[in-house]
């Protein structure tokens, strides 16, 4: 029988929102399902309100799980401390995480430290590895190589971190980049080719999010949420009216403001369309967004919802008629968005920008209007026309959604077993 591993993961986890938080948590759970003992060290409880999911007691139970075969998962988060700030004014995230991690690695006699993201998790993993002599592997995101690494004030530190790692987990096309940095070939690992965390909740059938009820409960439980959530909840959402949805960060590069302009064009033509955005951003960006809604006089048809756990996102998707994913001029070239695939899996009509369409291999040979809709977010009239067409052809949207769903593969049990085996072997290779 193969030895079961003791693994310390340092990275994002719920309630921090985002794709890396989701992937890290899913990977930790899957490793535990494989019989390994996993501790996920995070600073999730220190995240700012704008970047936190609204979680239920049931959601929080995922932090401690036991599986057949002896596998277990324990999520440990550092806690905010008002009196632990220092000058220059900052929070000691690195020290908090390193303290929690070194306790786990030493007390539990871990075989491996795994981290995802350079900041602060990779730096922490490197530090804890040097203290304990337990090897560490680092996985990077697009923002690590597309932004942070090339800042002169940070690069030398990151280079030392990468060179001290037992392994760097990356994509095949980036192997030459790491070789040029001086990372030995044997230390460059590829993401498990078969591994894809299974999002079984992403399907056409299932519960729909009760937007009015969710907002009411979220605002009562979390009064600290940005004023935009409160102000834009004054009008009652109409579940049967045509609804456009969008989820993720609120930002010009995401097409958030373009979508507002398109909704405003339709309002001037007396076409009623509701817009619900599941997302957030910094306080300054949220202030800007709220001001734009006011300026365009859209407060009666725009709602903003705080982030929710990823496995509940399908409930939001099902509560809409179309989902817009309108990234344009996005400044990170190494970027693989998962939103389109999630929307397709739910059988929902997707409206995409040209940039996104060109980045998705399964859409390159498809025609807009058959399995998806395409619109230029910078051309507000074109975007408004696409939404108007969708609103006038609600029955046909179901056909588009079904065609979109046919573009993605739903894994069967054999594929799921291969996926898990691939993950298992990769982590065993890390330990050697």
Contacts of 378 (CB under 8 A, 6+ apart): 258, 328
Q: What is the pLDDT of residue 249?
A: 92
Mean pLDDT along residues 361-380: 87
Q: Under a CB-based contact definition with an 8 Å cutoff, are residues 14 and 44 in contact?
A: yes
Span 82-118, pLDDT tens digits? 666 677 877 888 999 999 999 999 999 999 999 999 9
Span 205-236, pLDDT tens digits? 999 999 999 999 999 999 999 999 999 999 99
Q: What is the distance, to the nearest Å, from the Cα of residue 402 to the centroid of all Cα atoms in its chain? A: 24
Q: What is the pLDDT of residue 359?
A: 79
CA distance 338 to 190: 19
CATH placement of domain 211-405: 3.40.50.2000
pLDDT above 60: residue 335: no
CATH code 3.40.440.10 for 6-198+412-431:
no
pLDDT above 60: residue 334: no
Rounded to the nearest 10 degrees, what angle do helices 93-107 and 123-132 cross at? 40
Share of the chain above pLDDT 90, in %: 73
Residue 22 tokens, joined: 């989701």
Rounded to the nearest 10 degrees, what angle do helices 380-392 and 256-268 cross at? 60
Among 166, 240, 225, smallest CA distance to 394 is for 240
Q: Where are the domains of the chain?
A: 6-198+412-431, 211-405
- Taking 3-state DSSP, the helix, strand and coil percentages for the chain, each rounded to the nearest 5, stand at 50, 15, 35
The bridge status of strand 112-116 relative to strand 136-139 is parallel
CA distance 164 to 253: 35
Residue 324 tokens, joined: 């817009």
The whole-chain average pLDDT of the chain stands at: 92
Higher pLDDT, 61 or 129: 129
Residue 214 tokens, joined: 């969710």
Instruction: pLDDT band for 362, please (50, 70, 90 cuts).
Output: confident
Query: Are 6-198+412-431 and 211-405 in the same CATH fold?
Result: yes
DSSP string, 173-188: GGHHHHHHTT--GGGE
Q: What is the pLDDT of residue 284?
A: 96
Q: Under a CB-based contact definition with an 8 Å cutoff, are residues 216 and 230 in contact?
A: no
Contacts of 7 (CB under 8 A, 6+ apart): 31, 36, 37, 38, 39, 110, 111, 112, 113, 114, 427
Mean pLDDT is lowest, of 46-55, 82-91, 283-292, 347-356, for 82-91
Q: What is the pLDDT of residue 82?
A: 64
Q: Under a CB-based contact definition with an 8 Å cutoff, are residues 114 and 125 in contact?
A: yes
Max Cα-Cα span within the chain: 69
């Amino acid at each position: 029988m193969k030895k079961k591993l003791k693994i310390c993961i340092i990275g994002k986890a719920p309630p921090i929102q985002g794709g890396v938080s989701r992937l890290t948590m899913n990977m930790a759970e899957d490793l535990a399902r494989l019989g390994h003992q996993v501790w996920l060290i995070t600073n999730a409880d220190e995240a700012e309100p704008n970047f936190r999911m609204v979680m239920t007691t049931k959601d929080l139970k995922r932090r401690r799980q036991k599986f057949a075969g002896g596998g277990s998962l324990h999520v440990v988060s550092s806690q905010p401390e008002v009196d632990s700030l220092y000058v220059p004014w900052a929070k000691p995230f690195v020290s908090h995480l390193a303290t929690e991690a070194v306790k786990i690695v030493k007390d539990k006699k871990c075989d491996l430290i795994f981290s995802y993201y350079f900041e602060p998790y990779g730096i922490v993993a490197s530090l804890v590895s040097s203290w304990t002599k337990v090897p560490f592997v680092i996985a990077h995101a697009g923002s690590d190589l597309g932004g942070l690494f090339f800042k002169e004030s940070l690069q030398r530190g990151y280079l030392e971190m990468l060179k001290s790692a037992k392994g760097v987990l990356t994509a095949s096309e980036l192997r030459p980049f790491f070789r040029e940095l001086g990372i030995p070939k044997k230390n460059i690992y590829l993401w498990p080719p078969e591994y894809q965390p299974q999002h079984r909740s992403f399907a056409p059938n299932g519960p729909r999010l009760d937007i009015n009820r969710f907002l009411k409960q979220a605002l009562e439980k979390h009064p600290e949420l940005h004023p935009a959530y409160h102000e834009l909840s004054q009008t009652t959402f109409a579940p049967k009216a045509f609804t456009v949805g969008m989820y993720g960060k609120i930002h010009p590069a995401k097409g958030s403001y373009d979508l507002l302009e398109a909704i405003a064009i339709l309002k001037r033509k007396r076409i009623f369309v509701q817009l619900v955005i599941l997302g957030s951003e910094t306080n300054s960006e949220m202030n800007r967004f709220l001001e734009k809604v006011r300026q365009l006089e859209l407060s009666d048809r725009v709602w903003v919802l705080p982030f929710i756990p990823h496995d509940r996102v399908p409930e939001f998707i099902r509560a809409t008629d179309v989902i817009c994913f309108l990234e344009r001029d996005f400044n990170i070239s190494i970027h693989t968005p998962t939103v389109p695939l999630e929307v397709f899996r739910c059988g929902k009509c997707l409206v995409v920008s040209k940039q996104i369409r060109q980045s998705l291999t399964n859409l390159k040979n498809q025609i807009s209007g058959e399995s998806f809709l395409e619109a230029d977010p910078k051309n507000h009239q074109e975007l408004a026309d696409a939404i108007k067409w969708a609103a006038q052809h609600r029955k046909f949207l179901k056909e588009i959604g079904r065609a979109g769903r046919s573009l993605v593969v739903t894994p069967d049990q054999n594929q799921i077993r291969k996926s898990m085996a691939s993950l298992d072997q990769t982590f065993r290779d890390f330990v050697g």
